[in-house]
Amino acid sequence: MEAIAVWSGWIATAAIALAALVPIVQRIRAGKRAAPGSSPIRLHVLVGLATAALAFVHTMAVLPVLGSPAAIAGGLFALLPAGAAFFLLVAHAGLGLQLREPKLKDRAHKRRMHTTTAVLIALMVAVHAVLLIRAG
């Protein structure tokens, strides 16, 4: 069970990085943002949704080991950011799904929120993983 808890965490982390890379690489290569309905964004949405599903799988996978020495060793500050990351990921997916609408009002604001939540998710996951690794 422990192994599944750790592996699912790393798979979810890799998926977050992969999801973020799609629009970032596209922007660097083309010099501008991909249009909402374009193939890079469709790929991004697919990977993004898979990311949310994988984070959910990880959250379910850790439930049976939440009381284990490995899980507790990181302390509360290893688990608090994990809960925050999961919460933010749901909000982030909601914003992302709205951003698919080409005529969306308030696009600039929602895009900024999508980017801000992406940065916060990455930070929270980093704290979560580093504290757990340091705890051994």
Residues that bind ligand HEM (CB under 6 A): 2, 5-6, 9-10, 12-13, 16, 19-20, 23-24, 27, 33, 36, 41, 44-45, 48-49, 51-52, 55, 58-59, 62, 65-66, 68, 70-71, 79, 82-83, 85-86, 89, 92-93, 96-97, 99-100, 107, 111, 114-115, 118, 121, 125, 128-129, 132-133
Min dist. Cβ of residue 81 to ligand HEM (A): 9
Min dist. Cβ of residue 28 to ligand HEM (A): 11
Q: What is the dihedral of CA 64, 51, 92, 98, to 10 degrees?
A: -130
Q: How far apart are CA 69 and CA 34, in angstroms?
A: 46
The dihedral sign for the CA sequence 81, 19, 17, 122: negative
